[in-house]
Amino acid sequence: MARYTSEQDKYYQGMKLLIDLYYSYKSLGDKSDIAPEFIEKYIQIFRILLPGFDSFICIERKRLITFLYNRGDGINVEKPSNSIISYFEELIQSIDHQENKHFQSITLLGETVRSAMGNSKSNNKPHEFFFHEELIPKNIASQQKMYRLTARSKTSLDKKKIDKLITPQQVMEWGDEIDKEIYYPPYKHQTYEVEVVSAFGRKIVDYEAMLRRYNTVLVGIPYVHAPGYDKQIKFYEFLNGAFFGFHVAFGSFNRIKLCKYEPCKRLFVEKRLGSREYCSNICRKKHHDSTQDPLKRLCREKQNAWIRNKLSPVFHAKLQRNIPEYHVFMDDCKSCAEPVKGGLCKKLEDKYQDKYKKVFIALKNQRESKK
């Protein structure tokens, strides 16, 4: 297997986290509020897929979270369960229909480079500030939006006190302080012209809007929006770019699969193409077990447990030599008519022939003597 490029590894890791976020929201049901425990999930995703996101200001509201980062860039996460669930459910439909290529004729039209900014001598320790929006009664007739500092990272800006209330303007000033201490390396915006070949592809590029905007897509930030490189984006626009960037990095979506175990059918991303059919070893075993006669399977597990218990370290110490631990496999059970008690399996006994036969018979006799 060829080693991943840095771009491929970025989208591989990012897609795994997005899938985890999708299932986290699925478990919540119909709740549209943003779960506070998910904020860390967003931070992990954005740190991987958004350049300049090492330091940020997070403003938390009931149904909206705003992240400010990278000298004025921002992303608004509003009712994320609606967007992320709809995207992944459509992706699941496309996988069910064996559609894994959603674009063709992807043409790179050009690149725009953002220059390096900030303090090149910075130690680049991340600066993180978390605020919660509150409406403070200024007088009977009006209310004022204020932001309460609820948490922060240990940075050089240690004078900021937890629980402090500040105005929106002061939040922007804090952002300016961060920018003075951070070094932002250069990075590229890439512009692509694409031909969409699937329903999911149309969703990714917000097709109808793009037709009105030169039929072009931007990736590399990564998010999809009109030419002009908007600095303020919404979460669904970020998802557009994440999915499109994954397609550009790998050439298709054939690395994103559904677990073969029917009761599960969970999405997963495989590292090596064609190497996996199940999301976990547990599902692989469950699917394997479901294809077998349950009586034979339970009998086989009983025989294997019996020999495993008999050939314990204590037994080997008494015998002063090691006896190989043979097991019964599925093919051994094909000719069996009915289950037997532990230690009475003829197939297992046949495996302990020659010099080990006396040991096996002794183990069986131990079982008989305990009756």
Give the tens place of pLDDT for each residue, 112-125.
Answer: 666 556 555 555 67
Kindly give the pairing relationship between strand 216-219 and strand 187-196: antiparallel
In the chain, what are the domain boundaries?
A: 6-269, 294-369
Query: In this structure, are residues 124 and 54 in contact, taking their beta carbons and an 8 Å threshold?
Result: yes
Task: Enumerate residue ranges in the chain where pLDDT < 50.
Answer: 207-208, 210-216, 218-229, 369, 371
pLDDT of res. 20: 94
Query: In this structure, are residues 191 and 214 in contact, taking their beta carbons and an 8 Å threshold?
Result: no
Query: In this structure, are residues 200 and 102 in contact, taking their beta carbons and an 8 Å threshold?
Result: yes
pLDDT of res. 256: 95
Query: In this structure, are residues 49 and 242 in contact, taking their beta carbons and an 8 Å threshold?
Result: yes
pLDDT of res. 117: 61
**Which residue(s) pair with 218 in the sheet?**
191
**Helix intervals (H) in the chain:** 6-26, 39-49, 80-96, 168-181, 199-204, 207-211, 235-250, 281-290, 294-310, 313-319, 346-351, 357-369
pLDDT of res. 197: 85
Report the b/e string of 62-76 with b at 16+ CB within 10 A.
eebbbbbbbbebbbb
For 51, 116, 231, 362, the CA distances from 122, given in Å and listed in that order, are 17, 13, 24, 73
Query: In this structure, are residues 210 and 58 in contact, taking their beta carbons and an 8 Å threshold?
Result: no
Q: State pTM to two decimals.
A: 0.75
What is the rounded distance in angstroms from the CA atom of residue 245 to the CA atom of residue 364?
A: 62
Give the HSE-up count for residue 338: Cα atoms under 13 Å, Cβ half-sphere. 2
pLDDT of res. 283: 93
pLDDT of res. 45: 93
pLDDT of res. 123: 57
Total count of residues recorded for the chain: 371
Residue 46, φ and ψ in degrees, nearest 5: -65, -35
Close Cβ partners of 357 (under 8 Å, ≥ 6 residues apart): none
User: Which SS3 state, helix, strand or coil, does residue 132 take?
Assistant: strand
pLDDT of res. 234: 83
pLDDT of res. 25: 86
